[in-house]
Chains A and B, each alone.
Chain A
Amino acid sequence: MGLEKLQRLLSRSGISSDTCVVTHGYAAPLGFWLLKAHGHDDARILIGSRDQWAQAGQEWSTDVPGPPDGDHPPLTEQPPLLASREALEAAIGDPSAILLDVRADSLRTADGSPKSREELGRVLENAALQGTRP
């Protein structure tokens, strides 16, 4: 998405440059990545599913908050976290690069929360092994 559109979304969400943003929910990794890849530094992600909130005895709310507008400065793309189509094409067949399709269920547990560090390590190791297969 465009940098200005993202900047407006952040400001509308009450987010300024020093706000700690915690993403959660079904597409939490997408929000986390968007923030990191476009230069909002303090982004965090909830480890555990949305439902663990209720399981921990906490209340749900149906109020839609209208936080005071933040004043987020312009964003910039963070090159190491983004790959162009050309870079992607160059990586195909490069034994030092791994293309990981994260649409798969392999990165999540059955209840939708991210897998543990150990489990993710195994997924990545497996991907590396497959990548070197002739």
Chain B
Amino acid sequence: MSPSDADDAATVDVDWIATHLGDPQVRLVEVDVGPAAYDEGHIPGAVLWNAYTDLRDQNYRPRGAREASAFAVALRHLL
């Protein structure tokens, strides 16, 4: 039975994961803003998606980055 047939809940708990370890129909994805926690240890079979390297929109700029960049340009004109 595929996991989709078993139930269609949007949430699972650790027991569900434990019973589906190694199930080729299930992919565990750890999502984080850096690799530190994942590198220390992760649920067997889990892949890492790094929000800043794998998931970032190309148009995304951190808050304040635009202003900082404009400030740097203005500063260069002054010097």
Using a CB–CB cutoff of 8 Å, the interface residues on chain A facing chain B are: 1-2, 9, 13-15, 18-28, 30-32, 34, 42-48, 50, 52-54, 56, 58-65, 67, 70
Q: Which of B9, B13, B14, B38 has the most CB of A within 10 A?
A: B14
Per-position contact with A for B26-53: 1 when CB-CB < 8 Å, else 0? Answer: 1111111100011111111111110100
Count B interface residues, CB 8 Å: 41
Q: Please name 9 pairs of A and B residues whose Cβ atoms are closer than 8 Å in the assembled complex, sorted by A.
A: A9-B49, A21-B27, A27-B51, A30-B31, A30-B51, A31-B55, A34-B55, A52-B14, A61-B42
Shortest CB distance A34–B (Å):
7
Cβ of A26 and Cβ of B2 under 8 Å apart? no
In angstroms, Cα B13 to Cα A46, docked, is 6
Using a CB–CB cutoff of 8 Å, the interface residues on chain B facing chain A are: 2-4, 9-15, 17-18, 20, 25-33, 37-49, 51, 54-58
The chain A residue sitting closest to B52, CB to CB, is A27
Shortest CB distance B56–A (Å):
7
In angstroms, Cα B9 to Cα A45, docked, is 9
